[in-house]
């Protein structure tokens, strides 16, 4: 699977990407507000994740799509964006995203998310996308609010970040087609 935008290629990842993924993900500023990224994030973690993504592409129907975010200019993966918990009958899925710190604040996440949202609504024919954001993660909810997501509520002490083991409140946002 491969989607393109002006500056980005969103594509399946493979073992050649493991070094780049581990380099960018091995940063607590990236992983501290995420559910599933461990810290430290080692090459073996990237390889495990890549193999998991490969297996997931074989699911029928697919429950998730994980895309490596490749910057065309640098020809390497600088982050990940994905849809998980896809339920075709309900028409729903959850969005997730992270970018290496050197690439923040250049509009890259917004560019990637616009493409994924269009893929989810127009190609997968979903009707509702959800995003869970830890309450401390101001950049993230400011970003998704700009994309039109609406805050529906906050789940108290509902999530534990894998990287830190800390428990967080989670804001639930959603976007309808
Ligand atoms: C959240 C994250 C994906 C944003 O990526 P990004 O490419 O820097 O975001 P964009 O440049 O597209 O920013 C879009 C808007 O988000 C907000 N934003 C992004 N970073 C911000 C920051 N550090 N502080 C305040 N607002 C911020 C701004 O409103 C920004 O618009 P503006 O630049 O016009 O002011 C990135 O910081 C990241 O990967 N963080 C770590 C992982 C994470 O938290 N993922 C989200 C989990 S829900």
Tokens encoding 114 = 């616009």
Task: With beta carbons less than 8 A apart as the criterion, state whether 147 and 113 touch.
Answer: yes
Q: pLDDT-derived band of residue 49, with 50, 70 and 90 as boundaries?
A: very high
Using CA atoms, how far apart are residues 80 and 131, in angstroms rounded to an integer? 15
| Residue minimizing CA distance to atom 26 of ligand 1 | 139
pTM: 0.97
CA 74 to ligand 1 center in whole angstroms = 20
Radius of gyration of the chain (CA): 15
CA 133 to ligand 1 center in whole angstroms = 12
Per-residue pLDDT, averaged over 71-100, amounts to 97
């Amino acid at each position: 699977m491969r989607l393109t935008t002006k500056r980005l290629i969103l594509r399946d990842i493979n073992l050649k990407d493991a070094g780049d993924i581990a380099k960018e993900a091995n940063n607590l500023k990236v992983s501290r507000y995420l559910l599933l990224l461990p810290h430290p994030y080692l090459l073996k973690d990237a390889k495990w994740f890549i193999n998991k993504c490969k297996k997931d592409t074989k699911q029928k129907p697919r429950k998730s799509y994980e895309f490596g975010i490749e910057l065309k200019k640098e020809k390497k993966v600088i982050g990940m964006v994905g849809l998980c918990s896809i339920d075709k009958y309900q028409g729903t899925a959850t969005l997730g995203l992270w970018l290496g710190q050197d690439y923040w604040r250049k509009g890259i996440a917004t560019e990637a998310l616009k493409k994924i949202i269009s893929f989810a609504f127009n190609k997968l024919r979903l009707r509702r996308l959800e995003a869970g954001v830890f309450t401390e993660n101001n950049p993230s909810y400011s970003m998704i609010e700009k994309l039109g997501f609406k805050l529906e509520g906050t789940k108290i002490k509902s999530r534990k970040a894998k990287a830190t083991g800390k428990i967080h409140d989670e804001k639930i946002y959603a976007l309808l087609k």
